[in-house]
Amino acid sequence: MTSTKSDQTVSVLSTWSSLPSLRQFWEQQCTHPNAEYRLFYETLRSRKEVIRPNVLVVASDGEPKAAVLCRIENAKCPIRLGYLNFGTITVRTIVVMHGGVLGDLDSTGAQGVVRHLMEALRRGEASRILVSATPENSSFVVAALRQSTDWSRGYMQQRSKHWWIDIPSSQGTFIAGMKSKHRNYLRRMQRSLEERFAGDVVCRKYKDPRDVVQALGDIETVACKTYQRGLGVGVRNNKEYADRFKAVAEAGNLRVWVLYGGGSALAFRVGTICGDTIHGAGTGFDPELSEYRVGTLLLIHAIDDLAAEGIHRYDLGIGDAAYKQQLGSGCWDEVSFSIFGCSTRAQVAKAAIIIPLQISRVLTGLLVRFNAVERVKRILRRRAQSTAAKAAPLS
């Protein structure tokens, strides 16, 4: 246990058996499905790459005031240049969970937490700390950037926008509120899609635990064709996702929409409800049908469903895709970065991860100058889709 400059203390829960002591506070303060207690305790515990939890608890007068959810794992880090993947290296990493800052973490508590993490690096418990898509103005990020150096971060901070959609109170209002040109275009795409499949176009929603097998099976027929699969990310039809979907469905918070044409799945969206917000947990569409904007059509259908349920906000998740910029109601700034230790192992890992990112940043700057970013993205995504198409779907 370490002390902060006030009456706050920072302690670490580093065994699975110690986590239940924080469960009540954890479940009361959790505001993001990615940080739910059951997911952390059961799903992460089952992953062979996860070594142990590393949950930092800030207490005042003996009572938890805030917590930062971390885990230590042997992370497989992709060596990427944009969408091009050149393999992976394994790095012992302290992962700060996305959405994993619970409670009231003030600047004093954040400084104490970061000091604890930096000491773990110095002790050699890990080679790096990974912070992903965390609000840039949060107390934790401010403290982490102050206590680390540009050199330890490899001079790299990746900034992005995190978008959300305000869901209207009645069905049909969302598309009605679009500019007439965009609204008419999407309605024309809907008619064209129906013509292609002779009117046999339907959207189904799955939310019951009994629907999980059907939903994941249909998702897989689409996901295996996407560029996300080519990059090794996204929803998969495996035991981990099946268990996670079932647990969320049993809590009444799972929502899966699948768009079908001619009896075959064309697109899907997955979300988890937390309070009055649904958090996007995966999306994809058949790239051969991109001209019909099937992903956007399905999103509009999902928003109508959510309006009827009284959900107020759709959190579109990590990433700054063009459709989010077009349809989003607002956004906040997020930052991702790694802090590396001083050991030889840590510095080798830093070079392998950071150098491609630096090259990618320079190339992106050139593409922006020549207004070619979206064109090159489409080319690289098609390449990733081609890689995914060569692999068999998961059953």
Which string of DSSP letters, residue by residue, matches 237-277?
SSHHHHHHHHHHHHTT-EEEEEEEETTEEEEEEEEEEETTE
CA distances from 298 to 187, 204, 248 (A): 12, 10, 21
Chain centroid to Cα 214, Å, comes to 24
Place of tokens 């699969």: 229
**Would you state the pLDDT for residue 232?**
74
Residue 54 has pLDDT above 80, yes or no: yes
Residue 234: band (very low, low, confident or very high) from pLDDT cuts 50, 70, 90: confident
Domains of the chain in start order, with CATH, are 2-162+333-385 (3.40.630), 168-311 (3.40.630.30)
In sequence order, the 6+-apart residues with CB closer than 8 A to the CB of 174 are 165, 167, 168, 300, 303, 304, 307
Residue 88: band (very low, low, confident or very high) from pLDDT cuts 50, 70, 90: confident
Please give the Cα distance from 137 to 134 (Å, whole number).
9
Please give the Cα distance from 343 to 330 (Å, whole number).
42
Instruction: Please tell me the least confidently modeled range out of 10-14, 91-95, 248-252, 366-370.
Output: 366-370
Instruction: Please tell me the least confidently modeled range out of 45-49, 212-216, 250-254, 295-299.
Output: 45-49
What average pLDDT does the segment 112-135 reach? Answer: 95
Mean confidence (pLDDT) of the chain? 89
What average pLDDT does the segment 287-299 reach? Answer: 93
Residue 220 has pLDDT above 60, yes or no: yes
Per-residue burial over 190-218, b if 16 or more Cβ lie within 10 Å, else e, is beebeeebeeebebeebbebebbeebbeb
Residue 233: band (very low, low, confident or very high) from pLDDT cuts 50, 70, 90: confident
Residue 9 has pLDDT above 90, yes or no: yes
Residue 227 has pLDDT above 80, yes or no: no
What average pLDDT does the segment 109-130 reach? Answer: 95
Joined together, the tokens standing for residue 374 give 């979206």
Residue 4: band (very low, low, confident or very high) from pLDDT cuts 50, 70, 90: low
- Pairing of the two strands 128-135 and 84-103: parallel
- The torsion region of residue 134 among left (phi > 0), alpha (psi -120 to 50) and beta comes to beta
CA distances from 363 to 84, 356, 358 (A): 13, 10, 9
Number of helices and strands (H, E) in the chain? 14, 14
Please give the Cα distance from 87 to 69 (Å, whole number).
28
Residue 284 has pLDDT above 60, yes or no: yes
Nearest to 337 by CA among 145, 101, 138, 82: 145
Contact 335, 162 (CB under 8 A): no
Residue 230: band (very low, low, confident or very high) from pLDDT cuts 50, 70, 90: confident
**Would you state the pLDDT for residue 274?**
92
**Would you state the pLDDT for residue 393?**
59
Residue 179 has pLDDT above 80, yes or no: yes
Residue 306: band (very low, low, confident or very high) from pLDDT cuts 50, 70, 90: very high
Residue 382 has pLDDT above 90, yes or no: no
Residue 117 has pLDDT above 60, yes or no: yes
Residue 391: band (very low, low, confident or very high) from pLDDT cuts 50, 70, 90: low
**Would you state the pLDDT for residue 84?**
65
Residue 2 has pLDDT above 80, yes or no: no
Report DSSP letters for 201-214, one per residue.
EEEEEE-SGGGHHH
Please give the Cα distance from 121 to 144 (Å, whole number).
13
Cα within 13 Å of Cα(83), Cβ side: 20
What average pLDDT does the segment 120-138 reach? Answer: 94
CA quadruple 215, 218, 220, 224: dihedral sign:
negative
**Would you state the pLDDT for residue 5?**
52
Residue 387: band (very low, low, confident or very high) from pLDDT cuts 50, 70, 90: low
What average pLDDT does the segment 306-329 reach? Answer: 92
**Would you state the pLDDT for residue 359?**
79
CA quadruple 99, 104, 107, 109: dihedral sign:
negative
